[in-house]
Amino acid sequence: MSEKEEEIELAKKNAAMRAVEENLKSNTILGVGSGSTIVHAVKRVAEIIREKKWDIKCIPTSFQAYQLIMEHGLNYTTLDRHPIIDLDIDGADEIDQDLNLIKGGGGCLVQEKIIASNSKKVIIVADYRKVSTRLGENWKKGIPIEIIPMAATPILKKIEQMGGRPSLRMARAKMGPVITDNGNFIIDADFGIIEQPKVLNEKLLNIPGVVDTGLFISLTSRVYIGEKRGNIKIIDKNN
């Protein structure tokens, strides 16, 4: 691992640990997000449970999150049992000045949004590379959009008509498209700098065959940003 990679990994770890330590309480229903930063958060959750004997029940946002829950011996539960989640801790691909997000680079956007939208408090942890003034400044891969497979071609055409540059996300270790945990495809649609993320999100959701988008609008309560040299920047909603 290079010095730069070590710096980024430390930033992720510091942000995740601080977020868990400041927000986790006993008797909590916890949404467990996806991605590399969340690995550090789950590890800290497990340590706190062992130290304090707290009762924490975890709902995963993806198969990866489910594996983390099992690996660390945490209590697993579901939305059927606990439809209201106390705290959701997740990562992001990009965060704008209003705490809107682009998520879904890892392909788990639909389940992540379901968990976030049913949570009383959504905490995002990320490193300094993920922060921008407007969405699309730092994240150049486009908005992830989960779609019904049979609608792929017409959706691609409709996104082009909207001014986007869409592409079907292809798998690396197998032939063909990426398949989500829900059995769907993902389109990555580049719209450049996004001036009105809420408006764009609504337009995309109106396309038949679109399941959901990686635009997370007005869901975030607080963001923990791991900065260089170990500092943590905390940004609250409407702050």
Domain map of the chain by residue range?
3-133+217-236, 143-212
Give residue 88's pLDDT band: very low, low, confident or very high (50, 70, 90): very high
Structure tokens at 56: 């924490």
> Annotated catalytic, 112?
yes
Residue 118 neighbours by CB distance under 10 Å: 16
- Please compute the mean of the pLDDT values over residues 79-95 and round it to a whole number: 98
* pLDDT, average across residues 68-89: 97
pLDDT in the model for residue 93: 97
- Give the model confidence (pLDDT) of 20-75 as tens digits: 999 999 999 999 999 889 999 999 999 999 999 999 999 999 999 999 999 999 99
Element (H, E) at 13: helix 3-23
129-174 residue pLDDT tens: 999 999 999 999 999 999 999 999 999 999 999 999 999 999 988 8
* pLDDT for 4 beyond 90: no
Q: What is the pTM of this model?
A: 0.95
Domain 143-212, CATH: 3.30.70.260
Does the structure show a pLDDT above 80 at 238? Answer: no
Q: How confident is the model at residue 18 (pLDDT cuts 50, 70, 90)?
A: very high
pLDDT of residue 41: 96
Q: Do residues 180 and 107 make contact, with C-beta atoms less than 8 angstroms apart?
A: yes
Q: What is the token pair recorded at 57?
A: 């029940």
What single-letter amino acid sits at 124?
I
Q: Which of 112, 195, 202, 227 is catalytic?
A: 112
Strands laid side by side in the 56-60 sheet: 75-76, 56-60, 28-32, 87-90, 122-127, 222-226, 232-236
Q: How far apart are CA 35 and CA 91, in angstroms?
A: 7
pLDDT tens, 181-225?
Answer: 999 999 999 999 999 999 999 999 999 999 999 999 999 999 999
Domain 3-133+217-236 fold is: Rossmann fold (3.40.50)
* Per-residue pLDDT at 110 exceeds 80: yes
**Res 239: pLDDT:** 63
